[in-house]
Amino acid sequence: MIKKILVANRGEIAVRIVRACKELGIKSVAIYTDADRHALHVKKADQAFNIGSDPVLGYLNAHNIVNLAVASGCDALHPGYGFLSENPLLAEICARRGVKFIGPSPEVIRQMGDKIEARRAMIKAGIPVVPGSDHNLESVEEARELANRIGYPVMLKATNGGGGRGIRRCDSEAELLKNYERVVSEASKAFGKPEVFLEKCVITPKHIEVQVIGDSHGNTVHLYERDCSIQRRNQKLIEIAPSPQLTEAQREYIGKLAVRAAKSVGYVNAGTVEFLLDADNQFYFMEMNTRLQVEHTITEQITGIDIVQEQIRIADGLPLQYKQEDIRHRGFAMEFRINAEDPKNGFLPSFGRVTRYYAPGGPGVRTDAAMYTGYVIPPYFDSMCAKLTVWNLGWENVIERGRRALDDMVVYGVKTTIPYYQEILKNPEFRSGRFNTGFVEAHPELTEYSVKPPPELVAATISAAIAAHLGM
């Protein structure tokens, strides 16, 4: 049985994994660079080790991280999301050193991380894919010929990409010629390989993904879908489970598609199969994420299943505790990515000291955070500093609970996306439950909000004025 886990990550997801370990009676080991020496995950884990002065590179050195896992007596490693979580090298090194990797096999990570290989695997399994290239493009001329054949608009994508990077939409041949070398450059810098491919652009689709879990005993199930259509520049902002936009027939269909996709590649552990849903209600496979997702919280809220604990059990060789017919979803859950950004200023990052932080509470409210009062949000990483998840039985109910929880959540010292999300929840189109990936771009007016001073600040100002008047 796994007794000690090294968490090869930082921030809120590292804290989340540490909490799962504590409930299972498993010791946890955190890693950190100098920039994270005061981070919450360092304080929460049973042990913590410094991995270097460079803010980022320490989290990307697979050999050093696994060496540390062995030296500290860990028998397993959890990669979280981002960093090395979808790098097959980390899983391979773990296997060589006798450390259980809490995730799928290196072969599956490599296959599904290559968008061309993933497309081929899905076509073979009978999963519908977006029309496009079945190999890496060799030249801009080849891209031009294919685009003319399938029709504009098209998407140029990094073959080994992820996280919304290395993607450019091209509405004409001129844009394709302009963007081709740019995407090749982005692919090289972000993912180490200049490989790109081309797909037909599905115009303002709905972005629907399905959570799947498979064990090493041949059992694979889905935990229903999440709607990730509210996004900006391919970066998700708000996620919802289950999607308010699907019928029960569509829900059953896409769930079976996702299970078939996972089984076709021998997937073991937790993963996500992502689809696009076009205006004609046709689902298309987009990609498979071979890791825990940021938005796994909403699936946990509607199913009651702890996905991180299931990941650990599966890595320990245990079978799933349930069959597909045992899994039910109840109500709606919504996750807000609380980013340290200024929506009124082009979503410019707003790093710095959190002078005061109030987490919301009450029924159906969950907060996963990496910050605390006095914490300095470093400028070296993603701007997400917390995740707020709310649950309620009905769609209108979960919206109102979200509004209340966002209103309760107060962050001083840095600007955040909290007031922007409040505006989204007021929007009639969003409240109708009918929206797509073009929602944010279609509503630029949502950034024109005015920020009212929080009640705590007003009360403190009044108290100070009274004290000054009384000469206290």
Between CA 277 and CA 194 the distance in angstroms is: 29
Q: Tokens at residue 25, please?
A: 């009676």
**Strand-strand pairing, 365-369 and 384-392:** antiparallel
pLDDT by residue (tens digit) across 95-149?
A: 999 999 999 999 999 999 998 999 999 999 999 999 999 899 999 999 999 999 9
Reading across the β-sheet that carries 76-78, which strands appear in turn?
47-50, 27-32, 4-7, 76-78, 100-101
pLDDT for 242 equals 98
- Please tell me whether residue 283 adopts helix, strand or coil conformation: strand
Indicate whether 89 pLDDT > 90: yes
Beta partners for 139?
none
- 268-289 pLDDT per residue, tens: 999 999 999 999 999 999 999 9
Residue 196 bridge partners (DSSP): 158
- Here the tokens at position 386 are 């917390």
Which of these, 462, 434, 463, 428, lies nearest to 446 by C-alpha position?
428
What DSSP character marks residue 88?
Answer: H
Please check whether the two domains, 131-200 and 206-455, share a CATH topology.
no
Residues 41-87 have pLDDT tens digits of 999 999 999 999 999 999 999 999 999 999 999 999 999 999 999 99
User: In sequence order, what are the residues at sequence separation of 6 or more whose Cβ sits closer than 8 angstroms to the Cβ of residue 12?
Assistant: 40, 368, 369, 370, 384, 385, 386, 387
Distance of alpha carbon 401 from alpha carbon 417, whole angstroms: 17
In three-state secondary structure terms, 323 is coil
- The Cβ of residue 364 has, within 10 Å, a number of other Cβ atoms equal to 18
Q: Is 182 a catalytic residue?
A: no
The domain ranges of the chain are 4-102, 131-200, 206-455
Active-site annotation holder among 291, 313, 337, 401: 291
CATH dotted code for 206-455? 3.30.470.20
pLDDT above 70 coverage of the chain, percent: 95
**pLDDT digit string (tens) for 174-216?**
999 999 999 999 999 888 889 999 999 999 999 999 999 999 9
As a whole number of angstroms, the distance between CA 431 and CA 244 comes to 10
Q: At what angle do helices 88-97 and 106-113 cross, to 10 degrees?
A: 170
CATH for 131-200?
Answer: 3.30.1490.20
Q: 448 pLDDT exceeds 60?
A: yes
Q: Measured between alpha carbons, how far is 420 from 422 in angstroms, rounded to an integer?
A: 5
- CATH class of this structure's domain 4-102: alpha beta
Distances (CA, A) of 405 to 335, 364, 390, 422: 11, 10, 8, 10
Strand arrangement, sheet containing 196-200: 167-170, 154-158, 196-200
Instruction: State which amino acid sits at residue 21.
Output: C
The span from the CA of 427 to the CA of 443, in Å, is 9
Taking the CB of residue 80, how many other CB atoms lie within 10 A of it? 25
Containing 404, the helix (H) or strand (E) segment is helix 395-408
Strand partners, 47: 29
Cα(282)–Cα(381) distance, integer angstroms: 37
CB of 219 within 8 A of CB of 263?
no
pLDDT at 461: 55
Whether 209 and 275 have beta carbons less than 8 Å apart is answered as yes
pLDDT for 464 equals: 59
Structure tokens at 328: 């039910």
Convert the pLDDT of each residue in 210-253 to its tens digit: 999 999 999 999 999 999 999 999 899 999 999 999 999 999 99
Q: Can you tell me the distance from the alpha carbon of 403 to that of 423, in angstroms, rounded to the nearest whole number?
A: 9
237: left (phi over 0), alpha (psi -120 to 50) or beta: alpha
395-427 pLDDT, tens digit per residue, is 999 999 999 999 999 999 999 999 999 999 999
How far apart (Å, rounded) are the C-alpha atoms in residues 113 and 357? 38
In the three-class reduction of DSSP (H, G, I as helix; E, B as strand; rest coil), residue 470 is classed as coil
Rounded Cα distance, 433 and 418, in Å: 20
Average pLDDT on 324-352 reads 97
Whether residue 219 contacts residue 323, with contact meaning beta carbons closer than 8 Å, is answered with: yes
Alpha-carbon span 276 to 297, nearest angstrom:
21
